[in-house]
Structure 1
Amino acid sequence: MDINEIIEKLKDILSSEHPNRKIFDKDVASALGMSKESLSHLKKKNGVPYEQIAKFCAKRKISINWILFEQLPKSLEEETEKYTRIKHFTRINASAGGGSFNYDEDYEYLSIDKKLLDSLYKSNNSNPNAIAALNVMGDSMEPTLLDREVILFDKDNLDVSKGGIFIVSTNAGLFVKRVALKVDGSLELISDNKSYNSDIIVPDELDTIRLLGKVIGKVALV
């Protein structure tokens, strides 16, 4: 990254703002809020005043990536649109009694390729707003889900008629279990790890649990 090339770009921008006069290094320094001596010193070291350039660009609504890397805003938008952000509740764990779940809890954003999310659905079309992420804790779902893996679940998919793995909120805490609907209307909560017994939730007790969504994928550990 050459400071002289960057200065020439800044001169071009300033020239468009002041078409009737020639722009010098001292004008660039002034626009950056620096002394001409400071800018001269940076030129000798090939140093880049990133913070000052960022403020210069923000004031004029110019992409700093264009100034520094010659990346056009349109290309950045196209690249950014490839990814979508989902809420990752990093402080909430499922399968080891993580407690109740509140969508207002602290969360971070996890950026995932939209095509990857779409591939998790037969329709090949996902709704990122309905997808959230949690951490697995414990070994009750091994080998399917491992301790500390991040799982993705669809909050809009609560249909247990065809089975699947769901996030289940119970009086004992938050769990990730394989759920099977029994003929009598009860639900069986199954651990893939055969060292753990299944739990049966009879129809009269269904109001003591809440399904939060179906697990659709995971971010696996290597």
Structure 2
Amino acid sequence: MTTFGERLTKLREGKNLSQAKLAKMAGVPQSTIAQIETGRNKSTKKIIELAEVLDTTPNYLLNGVKDLSVVPSSSEIGSYSDKNISNSIGAYVKIPYYDISLSAGMGNATWIVRDTHDKLLFRESWLQRKGLDESSLKAMYVRGESMEPLLYDMDTILLNINDLEIVDGGVYAIIYKNRLYIKELRNTENGIDIISYHRDYETMHVTQETYDQFKVLGKMVWRGG
């Protein structure tokens, strides 16, 4: 996996920009660019400005995570650490990463904020266009290969925990038989199909007999990897 400095260098050179030119366009000292590219500096408060100049996202520059969603444009989504960005971030919304703790035998889930400073950064205008409320959004990592090629292990997804109505073809975080899954759901005459994309994983079926072991936690509204 490449480093922040390596990604910055590649993008800068791809635009035929010198360190001095990039520094001027992003409003940072040239020494900052040099320190990032040599690995001496792991972050900068100007990450948003650098991403916009380089037509990428802060998330990709810092973590190598590419926005896989269709709607947002290049600089509308990113990831950052609180210590790396000032609190004056204008019309941006910070979404924390969460883990889910399951209650054994209860089918209940508790959202737990991950012990990390990293968060996703979204423009308020994008949330408004999507009709999303920041209070209902939770970011989490995908684990496993069952949803490849849509989602890969350790991809990031954003869930709307207030959108619990099953729409055929939508991807949801669910609990089924006291296990957490990220799956496509489809309504059927006999219940609900829980669909994996990887061919090695069979479709699971929620029936009337097992419906009390099934719970929708939220719908995926964005993905990055």
TM-score range, shorter chain: 0.5 to 0.7
- Cα deviation 1:74-132 (Å, max 9, x = unaligned): xx87x52322122311x559xxxxx96312x243561312257428xxx5332111010
Query: What is the rounded CA distance, in whole Å, between the counterparts of 1:126 and 1:189 in structure 2?
Result: 25
Q: How many residues align?
A: 133
Match among 113, 131, 146 for residue 137 of structure 2? 131
SS in 2 for 1:146: coil
Q: Check the 8 A contact 2:186/2:193 in 1, yes or no.
A: yes
Question: SS where residue 129 of structure 1 aligns?
Answer: helix
What residue ranges of structure 2 are gaps of 5+ in the alignment? 1-85, 102-106
Matched, 1:112 2:129: no
Structure of higher CA gyration radius = 1
Residue of structure 2 equivalent to 1:159: 165
The equivalent of 2:97 in structure 1 is 88
Moved over 6 A (4+): none
Q: Distance in 2 between matches of 1:128 and 1:211?
A: 19
Assess, with a 3 A threshold, how the Cα gap between structure 1 residues 87 and 144 changes in structure 2: closer, same or farther: same
How far apart, in 2, do the equivalents of 1:139 and 1:191 lie?
9
1:219 aligns with 2:224: yes
SS at match of 1:102: strand
- Measured in 2, the distance between the counterparts of 1:83 and 1:216 equals 17
Distance 1:197 1:177 in 2: 12
Distance 1:116 1:88 in 2: 21
Give the TM-score taking structure 2 as reference length. 0.53
Contact 1:167 1:214 in 2 (8 A): yes
Mapping for residues 24-103 of structure 1, pairs under 5 Å: 80-89=89-98, 91-92=99-100, 101-103=109-111
User: What is the alpha-carbon distance in structure 1 between the residues aligned to residue 178 and residue 146 of structure 2?
Assistant: 15
CA distances 1:124-167 after superposition (whole Å, capped 9, x unpaired): 33211101011111110000001111111100111113330000
Q: Which residue of 2 aligns with 1:169?
A: 175
Q: Is the 8 A contact 1:153 1:217 kept in 2?
A: yes
